């Protein structure tokens, strides 16, 4: 990965607004302030709103961690976002996704998904990311398995993590010290 395009604010030199957001993130479900949010802290209000939406979409939807992490990995792979992959591949394992599924997504191969809800989430996510739209067949399958709230949440999750991937990639937010890129070029 190339050198970062912008400096990350240091925790010991934050403004009052930045400190408020930093502490909100640190005390929330993430438990720490990832580099992504340090980059976003160049605009404290933006960082606050982004982190609030992210917390909702990641921790408080009807999809649950298994389906959310599956979608997040598919988005991360679509955008070749090393940073997003670095943090979410271990979360996907914790959420119960098999290593073979994670590795297939990493290698851009169709993952061996058996559960109908997993197949619906993966197909929906890939179509949305690649085609910028989902076919009626794919949409109807997701709707029947996830319900109205689930497809709304899945669509929002796709948009959120695409925005995060773009932010990370374009500002070249670095992986944590010592971490090696995991996605093939």
Which whole number is the average pLDDT over 88-103?
97
Share of the chain above pLDDT 70, in %: 99
Share of the chain above pLDDT 90, in %: 85
pLDDT at 1 over 70: no
Note whether 105 and 155 are same-domain residues: yes
The 10s digit of each residue's pLDDT in 152-173 is 999 999 999 999 999 999 999 9
pLDDT at 2 over 80: no
Q: What is the pLDDT of residue 24?
A: 92
Note whether 89 and 54 are same-domain residues: no
The 10s digit of each residue's pLDDT in 32-88 is 888 889 999 999 999 999 999 999 999 999 999 999 999 999 999 999 999 999 999
Which whole number is the average pLDDT over 119-129?
98
Note whether 106 and 145 are same-domain residues: yes
pLDDT at 19 over 90: yes
Note whether 153 and 108 are same-domain residues: yes
Which whole number is the average pLDDT over 105-112?
97
pTM of the entire structure? 0.93
pLDDT at 3 over 90: no
Note whether 101 and 129 are same-domain residues: yes
Note whether 77 and 51 are same-domain residues: no
Range of the domain at 127: 64-171
Note whether 111 and 77 are same-domain residues: yes
Considering the domain boundaries, does residue 94 fall inside one? yes
> Quick one: pLDDT band at residue 121, thresholds 50, 70, 90?
very high
Considering the domain boundaries, does residue 176 fall inside one? no
Q: What is the CATH number of the domain that holds 82?
A: 1.20.1290.10
Note whether 68 and 150 are same-domain residues: yes
Note whether 17 and 70 are same-domain residues: no
Into how many domains does the chain fold? 2
Q: Distances from the Cα of 136 to the Cαs of 65, 123, 143, in angstroms?
A: 26, 12, 10
């Amino acid at each position: 990965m190339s050198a970062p395009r912008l400096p990350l604010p240091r925790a010991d030199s934050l403004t009052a607004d930045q400190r408020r957001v930093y502490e909100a993130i640190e005390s929330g479900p993430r438990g720490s302030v990832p580099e992504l949010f340090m980059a976003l802290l160049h605009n404290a209000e933006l960082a606050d709103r982004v982190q609030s939406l992210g917390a909702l979409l990641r921790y408080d939807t009807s999809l649950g961690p298994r389906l959310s992490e599956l979608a997040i990995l598919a988005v991360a792979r679509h955008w070749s976002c090393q940073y997003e992959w670095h943090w979410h591949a271990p979360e996907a394992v914790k959420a119960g996704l098999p290593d073979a599924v994670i590795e297939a997504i990493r290698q851009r191969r169709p993952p061996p998904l058996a559960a109908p809800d997993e197949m619906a989430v993966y197909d929906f996510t890939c179509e949305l990311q690649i085609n910028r739209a989902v076919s009626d067949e794919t949409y109807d399958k997701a709707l029947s398995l996830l319900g109205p709230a689930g497809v709304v949440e899945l669509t929002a999750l796709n948009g959120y993590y695409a925005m995060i991937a773009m932010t990370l990639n374009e500002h070249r937010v670095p992986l944590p010290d010592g971490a090696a890129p995991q996605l093939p070029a």
